[in-house]
Amino acid sequence: DTGVSQDPRHKITKRGQNVTFRCDPISEHNRLYWYRQTLGQGPEFLTYFQNEAQLEKSRLLSDRFSAERPKGSFSTLEIQRTEQGDSAMYLCASSFTGLAASDTQYFGPGTRLTVL
């Protein structure tokens, strides 16, 4: 049983460039989440999907951030016109929603973004 995978693991970009990260959830999981983690802090929730529907996006950091999950499987997180403050670890998690309202989230290894 494979876990959550993320690609790339590391990304270095210049300020002003666009970047896109991919997340592949655990195969039977219907919910997918994106978080940002900066040094010395806990993960900060950004957005989540149930199947292909984006149910919460108000906590995306700015309109430069967007996420998609077009077929309800993998998801992408895009940051446009990157800024140095965007440098962080971007984490993806997935869960299966059953009878419990809040099921356990399983996390991927993260994508570390460095904006020069």
Per-residue binding string, other proteins, 47-76, x by CB under 8 A, is -x-------x--x-----------------
Tokens encoding 79: 């940051």
DSSP state of 87: -
Compute the distance between CA of residue 1 and CA of residue 22 in angstroms, rounded to an integer.
19
Member of 67, 86, 88, 108 binding other proteins (CB under 8 A): 108
Shorter beta-carbon distance to other proteins: residue 80 or 103? 103
CB 32 within 8 Å of CB 49: yes
Give the shortest CB-16-to-other proteins separation in angstroms: 27
User: If DSSP states are collapsed to H, E and C, what string results for 5-52?
Assistant: EEECCEEEECCCCCEEEEEECCCCCCEEEEEEECCCCCCEEEEEEECC
Member of 94, 105, 113, 115 binding other proteins (CB under 8 A): 105
Give the shortest CB-57-to-other proteins separation in angstroms: 11
* Chain positions contacting other proteins, by CB under 8 A: 31, 33, 35, 40-45, 48, 56, 59, 89, 91, 93, 95, 97, 100-110
